[in-house]
């Protein structure tokens, strides 16, 4: 396959200097510390609504379905029992990534989720951890391709196919027993583990380009090259004001949003392309990238952390976005800075892993919410859904809804 070369858009340090953590139009409403918990037996975090390749969130025979990164709560594990005999939920929560599995939930209401269990049986996935991706409903036969990240050893973008089966009382999944590895970081466009032991390569999000009809995928990566060798030059700086030329150790932050194109609509063979957006000298993580197509524009969203920003720039945990008239750019940072929806300064870790849906609703999970003094409450559950409005290169927070409210945009009736 041959594709026109494109020049990645740089998210510059000058852009990031425009981040305003106190702008109410880009700040997520406060989450109350008395939030409800979906489950007393599992933590959930990254949430992946079942959708079609154009981004439409779907229900199946009236059942909404979400996939989540999930880990058992371990209140009786000795390693999480303090000297006073009490369960240390905070340490358990921090340890969750090492035993993350993808599970599913279903609901008639788009909330009030019922736990369905594991998507893949133990041992199906070829690596020890199942990290985030995207479930795609392929047809009205109920076939689903789950694109996800196989982690440790290495990091591989993969997919596994199964089927959703509905009844009057619930939803089950079948299949999901043959994992197909698709590609890994190449070292040319995207940093490999050999180039950086803490490299990022994960979070596949496939989509059909509404213009050319081809199947593409965006994902998180780091710009290729040995760790510490990247230069933060004039193009990475942007139009910084006097006094902001010193970048400190910013050469270590080299996040990017990657893209690949499939050979055909089956999505079994892929070609890696140069990144769409790079953040060299700005941020090291551009997690869970995904698109919303609206008003003939490409809205490219990603999530990032305050702690992954480079020296001299900062921003809240939350959603960042870029907009273009064309798939391959150039992209402009939303709201001039890139910030679309950040946590409030008083609760900087309240939510994360936001997913912006085409109807403007944004779902996320609760991480931790302050309570009294320096204490805080762990979440591991769905956060309140919020709505944002997109107007050109600007965005505005509009409303807040119930916890875990993820309504379908269209119902798919399965063929008999």
**What CA–CA distance (Å, rounded) separates 245 from 160?**
47
The C-alpha R_g of the chain, in whole angstroms, comes to 21
Residues 6 or more apart whose CB falls under 8 angstroms from that of 385 comprise: 361, 362, 363, 400, 401, 402, 403, 404, 405, 406
* Nearest C-alpha neighbor of 72 from the set 89, 50, 55, 85: 89
Contact between 319 and 251 under an 8 Å Cβ cutoff? The reply is no
CA distances from 293 to 56, 155, 276, 298, 331 (A): 10, 29, 16, 5, 14
Distance CA 406, CA 265 (A): 27
> Look-up: residue for tokens 């869970």?
288
Distance CA 381, CA 12 (A): 34
Six token digits for residue 290:
């995904």
Q: Write b or e for each residue in 101-122: b if 16 or more Cβ atoms lie within 10 A of its Cβ, otherwise e.
A: bbbbbbbeebbebeebeebbee
- Is the CB of residue 100 less than 8 Å from the CB of residue 131? yes
Please tell me the distance from the alpha carbon of residue 360 to that of residue 268, in angstroms, as a whole number: 31
Kindly list the catalytic residues.
46, 287
């Amino acid at each position: 396959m041959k594709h026109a070369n494109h020049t990645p858009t740089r998210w510059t340090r000058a852009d990031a200097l425009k981040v305003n953590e106190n702008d109410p139009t880009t700040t997520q409403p406060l989450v109350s510390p008395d939030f409800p918990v979906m489950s007393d037996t599992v933590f959930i975090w990254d949430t992946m609504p079942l959708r079609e390749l154009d981004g439409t969130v779907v229900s199946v025979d009236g059942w909404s379905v979400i996939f989540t990164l999930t880990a058992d709560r371990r209140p009786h594990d000795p390693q999480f029992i303090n000297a006073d005999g009490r369960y240390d939920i905070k340490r358990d929560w921090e340890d969750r990534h090492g035993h993350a599995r993808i599970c599913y939930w279903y609901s008639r209401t788009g909330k009030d989720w019922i736990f369905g269990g594991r998507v893949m049986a133990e041992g199906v996935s070829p690596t020890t951890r199942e990290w985030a991706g995207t479930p795609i409903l392929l047809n009205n036969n109920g076939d689903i391709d789950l694109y996800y990240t196989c982690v440790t050893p290495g990091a591989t973008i993969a997919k596994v196919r199964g089927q959703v089966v509905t009844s009057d009382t619930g939803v089950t999944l079948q299949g999901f027993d043959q994992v197909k590895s698709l590609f890994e970081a190449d070292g040319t466009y995207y940093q490999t583990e050999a180039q950086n032991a803490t490299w990022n390569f994960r979070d596949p999000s496939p989509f059909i380009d509404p213009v050319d009809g081809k199947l593409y995928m965006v994902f998180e990566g780091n710009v290729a090259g040995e760790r510490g060798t990247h230069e933060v030059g004039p193009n990475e700086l942007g139009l910084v004001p006097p006094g902001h030329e010193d970048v400190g150790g910013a050469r270590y932050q080299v996040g990017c949003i990657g893209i690949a194109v499939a050979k055909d609509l089956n999505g079994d063979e892929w070609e890696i392309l140069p990144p769409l957006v790079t953040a060299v000298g700005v941020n090291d993580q551009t997690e869970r990238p995904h698109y919303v197509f609206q008003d003939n524009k490409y809205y490219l969203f990603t999530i990032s952390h305050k702690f992954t920003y480079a020296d001299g720039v900062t921003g809240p945990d939350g959603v960042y976005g870029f907009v273009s008239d064309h798939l391959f750019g150039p992209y402009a940072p939303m709201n001039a800075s890139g910030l679309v929806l950040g946590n409030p300064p008083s609760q900087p870790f309240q939510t994360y892993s936001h997913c912006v849906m085409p109807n403007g609703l944004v779902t996320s999970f609760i991480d931790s919410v302050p309570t009294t003094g320096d204490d805080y409450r762990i979440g591991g559950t769905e956060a309140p859904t919020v709505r944002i409005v997109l107007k050109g290169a600007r965005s505005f927070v509009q409303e807040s809804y119930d916890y875990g409210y993820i309504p379908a945009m269209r119902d798919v009736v399965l063929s008999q």
